[in-house]
């Protein structure tokens, strides 16, 4: 998608002007992928404020063919030390490249000390990440496909009787991840969380050989990856007829999640989104049992800005992709989390994870 990547580079140039630099050295591989489409493991970009005619892409000889296909619209430099090679170019032609910014949040002190020997570099952190906050339609379509792969995998797992007493958490994790691959996922977004019984009260439980038992809550937090974009979804099931306390906790989390989703509106403070869901749980006397943030951005990383938390800063904009994932966790008994990936839209958000959020008894 050269046109898409070209538009992103053009948008970034406006931020270079704001930052007071003539060029930006981009070294973070995800940011490089976002700006160029390159998916290899070694690259750097020297993006010039005046346009692609003065912008350089550098990788090493292993990626000559790949970069020609993925980055057909930028001049190439071949060098193993990609960042250093571009800084040297900028220093040699200082009249053209002028003041060079760099992604200081992604460069170690040692790297900086080495790079600045050739040219003066100015700290310009987070410029590409500012662009990545709001997704374009190509990104949203990739997220949509990733969410669909996860939805279909879950549907298949349940229809095949994959959630049943006697199976282990690890068996279910592997089964679910394989099904996501079958439905178009390149890889899981993260190590799947499968938590049964008392383990479901541990927010980020790692699957074990523990067997599912009748009466258990079973919490599944998982995601698929399509074209580098990550989905994130949590659903909680119960094996057999639920006890009254399980219905009570589930209904509470369900109501809190709905309140959080309703608050996902352009212009809303991210802390207010967190408060909308957290207030429902706190009013029911379970505030202490919801100890994590309400959600986060998703995209080329599974956790991106913005952050839905009481301490979160910023407002929502149309096109942001976020999760809403409240939970109530009762230590030693069990817990419930319900999570969706959605896109901020005018009016109401676009829900990307479509699996039912009603309590499912298996």
pLDDT tens sequence across 262-302: 999 999 999 999 999 999 999 999 999 999 999 999 999 99
H or E stretch covering 101: strand 100-102
Rounded to whole angstroms, the Cα distance separating 183 from 279 reads 37
Handedness of CA 114, 120, 123, 129 (dihedral sign): negative
What does residue 324 show for φ and ψ, rounded to 5 degrees? -130, 115
Give the 3-state secondary structure of residue 292.
coil
pLDDT score recorded for residue 75: 97
> Does residue 119 register a pLDDT over 80?
no
Fold of 2-132: Creatine Amidinohydrolase; Chain A, domain 1 (3.40.350)
Cross-strand pairs, 23: 48, 100
Distance in angstroms between the alpha carbons of the first and the last residue of the chain: 44
List, for residues 179-209, the tens digit of each pLDDT value. Answer: 999 999 999 999 999 999 999 999 999 999 9
Contact 154, 173 (CB under 8 A): no
pLDDT score recorded for residue 50: 95
Cα–Cα–Cα angle for 131, 146, 198, rounded to 5 degrees: 105
In terms of DSSP H, where are the helices of 207-243?
Answer: none
Rounded to whole angstroms, the Cα distance separating 226 from 144 reads 9
pLDDT score recorded for residue 136: 96
Handedness of CA 162, 166, 167, 168 (dihedral sign): positive
Rounded to whole angstroms, the Cα distance separating 12 from 16 reads 7
List, for residues 57-113, the tens digit of each pLDDT value. Answer: 999 999 999 999 999 999 999 999 999 999 999 999 999 999 999 999 999 888 888
């009570």: which residue's tokens?
248
pLDDT score recorded for residue 101: 96
Instruction: Decide: residue 258, CB within 10 A, 0-12 exposed, 13-18 middle, 19+ buried.
Output: middle
Candidate CATH numbers 3.40.190.10, 3.30.300.30, 3.90.230.10, 3.40.50.2300; the one for domain 137-361:
3.90.230.10
Helix axes 244-262, 270-283, angle to 10 degrees: 160
What is the mean predicted confidence (pLDDT) over 218-230?
Answer: 98
Query: In the chain, how many H helices and how many E strands?
Result: 11, 19
Rounded to whole angstroms, the Cα distance separating 205 from 210 reads 12
Share of the chain above pLDDT 90, in %: 95
* Residue 184: closest CA among 214, 150, 161: 150
Rounded to whole angstroms, the Cα distance separating 93 from 303 reads 38
List, for residues 136-173, the tens digit of each pLDDT value. Answer: 999 999 999 999 999 999 999 999 999 999 999 999 99
Instruction: Decide: residue 210, CB within 10 A, 0-12 exposed, 13-18 middle, 19+ buried.
Output: middle
What is the mean predicted confidence (pLDDT) over 24-50?
Answer: 98
- Domains of the chain: which residue ranges? 2-132, 137-361
> Does residue 46 register a pLDDT over 80?
yes
Helix axes 29-36, 2-19, angle to 10 degrees: 120
> Does residue 231 register a pLDDT over 90?
yes
Average pLDDT, the chain: 96
């Amino acid at each position: 998608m050269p046109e898409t990547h070209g538009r992103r580079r053009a948008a970034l140039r406006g931020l270079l002007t704001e930052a007071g630099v003539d060029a930006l050295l981009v070294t973070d591989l995800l940011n490089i992928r976002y700006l160029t489409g390159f998916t290899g493991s070694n690259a750097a970009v020297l993006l010039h404020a005046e346009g692609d005619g003065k912008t350089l892409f550098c990788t090493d000889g292993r990626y000559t063919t790949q970069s020609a296909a993925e980055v057909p619209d930028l001049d190439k430099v071949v060098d193993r030390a990609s960042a250093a090679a571009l800084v040297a170019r900028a220093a040699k032609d200082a009249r053209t490249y002028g003041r060079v910014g760099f992604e200081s949040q992604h460069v170690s002190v040692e790297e900086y000390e080495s790079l600045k020997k050739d040219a003066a570099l100015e700290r310009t952190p987070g410029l590409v990440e500012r662009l990545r906050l709001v997704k374009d339609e190509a990104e949203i379509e990739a997220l949509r496909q990733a969410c669909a792969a996860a939805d279909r995998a879950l549907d298949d797992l349940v229809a095949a009787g994959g959630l049943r007493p006697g199976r282990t958490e690890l068996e279910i994790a592997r089964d679910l991840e394989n099904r996501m691959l079958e439905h178009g996922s390149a890889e899981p977004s993260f190590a799947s969380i499968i938590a049964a019984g008392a383990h479901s009260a541990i927010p980020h439980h790692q699957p074990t050989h523990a067997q599912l038992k009748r009466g258990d809550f079973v919490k599944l937090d998982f995601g698929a990856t399509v074209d580098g974009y990550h989905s994130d979804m949590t659903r909680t099931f119960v094996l057999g007829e639920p006890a009254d306390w399980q219905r009570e906790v589930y209904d509470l989390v369900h109501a809190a999640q709905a309140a959080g989703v309703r608050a996902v509106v352009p212009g809303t403070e991210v802390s207010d989104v967190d408060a909308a869901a957290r207030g429902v749980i706190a009013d029911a006397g379970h505030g202490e049992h919801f100890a994590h943030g309400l959600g986060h951005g998703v995209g080329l990383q599974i956790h991106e800005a913005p952050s839905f938390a009481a301490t979160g800063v910023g407002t929502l904009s149309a096109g942001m992709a976020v999760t809403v994932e409240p939970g109530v966790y009762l230590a030693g008994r069990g817990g419930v989390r319900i999570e969706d990936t959605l896109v901020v839209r005018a009016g109401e958000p676009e829900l990307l994870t479509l699996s039912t959020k009603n309590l499912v008894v298996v």
